[in-house]
Structure 1
Amino acid sequence: MSYTLKNCRLIPELSGQHHLTIADVYVDEGKIISIADPDSHTAQGIVIDCKGKTLLPGLFDLHVHLHSEEEIMPTAANHFTIMKKAMQSAQLYLDYGFTTVRDMGSTNRVSHAVREVINEGLFIGPRVIGGGKIIRPTSKENYHAGDSFIREVTGHNEMLKAAREEFAEGADIIKIYASGSALQTSGVPTQPIFLPEEIRAAVTIATMEGKKVAAHCHSREAINMCLADGVYTIEHATYVDDEAIEILKTEQSYLVPTLTPMHHRKPNNRDPKDDAILEKKLKVLAEASSKRLRTAYQAGLKMGFGTDVSIHSFSNRIGIEFKMRKELCGMENIDILLQATKYSALIAGLEGVTGEIKEGYEADLILMDGNPDQDLTVMYEKPAIVFKNGIKVV
């Protein structure tokens, strides 16, 4: 099916520096075919008058959990229920304009199944990059999901085995836990929890597979250890220091900050005592991350865009990641938009495929009612229209 999106407002930085600010975008067979002056051609296919609204590339969220331990109670939930909830999550991400998501750990590796259902055309959802189960060291932190969501390893050999098995099960990327958790009461975010040889084992297997490793990292020591051993993306990056920033300037590895969880809302099923501990912990982390990520941003680092929050609570938090990057880290509107599109496409290995509005790119597009490069609050609302691979889904 073909469409002409008439009278779209384009942002040059997100549109290959196209000279037109108001243009018609012609989409056919899933691709952006042409970008033209509205008065220079005859519109083809289904015509949608965008009336000067801003057309953006589809958004990326590089840190999601299509189905996580928070949703697994009771642990006896059957595979059908888990798959159904994960598919609902995928659909909601698309509704909110996220046309590509990178799953950083899901129950029973359900993200792989959702990915395949979408790729086979049985269900319309975002592009899914699957991360399988999270690999973390044996530790005191208490996870309710058990081995359905996390696999524990101790030592070099167990890491080799776990990494091989995760890739064999279909992982596009593997995620390791290199520092303590912020959202577990027993976790110590400033504490590294993997040994260098364990991290190197994961990277060795990923490299052999032609794939990458992402690492949950809050602590300075864990971040630097992961960068030294070849980890590709540093998730959260709360205490990223100047040494790490210098390494990251080479663009061999990238930061994927996730500020949204700092906007803490008390779940109904959480013990009040635990809630008080987490609130105190998250306040400290929010202060540290805003300071350090501001420094990383001012150093000119390209960063990815991640939220690390269940999409089912997204209606209460829509736009929070955009808002916090601006207000806490002093990032400019256009740079945050680049992080959510072009830079994340680069990090995800999709540069030249999606992430910009350019001829020949996949037609992953969202239409926003306003000018988000001038007023970021536009991104606090759902898109007026969403296209995924040339299919109008919203």
Structure 2
Amino acid sequence: MSHKFKLAVGTTALAIISIVGLRDTGVFVQDHNTTLYSGSELKFAVEEQANIVDSNDRGYIVQKGNAKVTVPKEKILVTESKPQYYTVKKNAILKKDGKVVRNLFIGETLQTVKHYPNTVAVNTEDGLFGSVENKFIEPIEGPHMTPAKVKQNLKLENANGVYQLAKNQSVNVVSYKDGLFIILDEEGKDFQIDPNYLDFGEGGVKAVQRAVIQKQAPVKKIAEPVAIAPKVDGAKAQQVIDSAFSKMGSPYVWGATGDGGYDCSGLVYAIYVNELGISLPRTSSAQSQVGAQVDRSQLQPGDLIFFNTTGKGVSHVGIYIGDDTFIHANSGSGRVKQNKLSEKYYNSRFVNATRVL
């Protein structure tokens, strides 16, 4: 297989594509709001899943509930799609405009250009273009990969090892989570990289630029709690609590802000941003930096409390409702529920609290 078409498939942490009945799937890298014909507003949040049903010159057509809207392509990173690569399983012929270009050979790798009902338009490793019938090829399964270039020399490190990157090196981006892009190295191992370091080119993906660059610059420390925290808006706090209780038992759905469920920061986003109009970022780590820092001893209903559940900094958020209790979307139990802050698990993982009401 040529290095030009080398496809990394070693990572098991990323979803494998199913060909049958596939709708392309992506993840929002920017918030997007649009007004429907009915006059109601449809909102998409950063890291929310995008169900892509088609595309046009203006962007991706995304379905949410019964609504279908067009979203600019720069706001969505495609994470699953029809195969980008195929391998030839039987001797076949590559055709263009009804004429034979050349024979294709078993094991040859083809790069997808466009899918048709019975054929696929492809590029060959030696630079030829044409179409081949579906019955002669089989998909190389793996995550959808979006190419990008690295803006400067970098060294990424995690449990998978070290990934040394050079300026202008091309990398394959497969996902976006917690404000970071996920890229694959040549062996298919995944690494996280800050959006500030990637260039997707003109018309490409444009992620929300983080104020802090992870691992390549000093990490911004969470501010010390103020001596006297600002007074909570009691009316808004009651709205938050009532709304949080109304969502008890809702399913935990990663990336969701109410469309069928919530993740932890999605629950906060749904209540504070969508319902109360308070400006907050989408992820728990970013939310932990907004508002007045509150000492644990001064917690009031409506405050946000943050936890380190992964060992890598703030990764979880809950809504404090008083009496040592908070409501959160819990991935372990798979639902929105209550827990006590003094419970051993949460007590030992508490990081900070903020007041935004």
TM above 0.5, one fold? Answer: no
Q: Give 1 or 2 for the bigger CA radius of gyration.
A: 2
Please identify which structure carries the higher helix content: 1
TM-score, normalised on structure 1?
Answer: 0.23
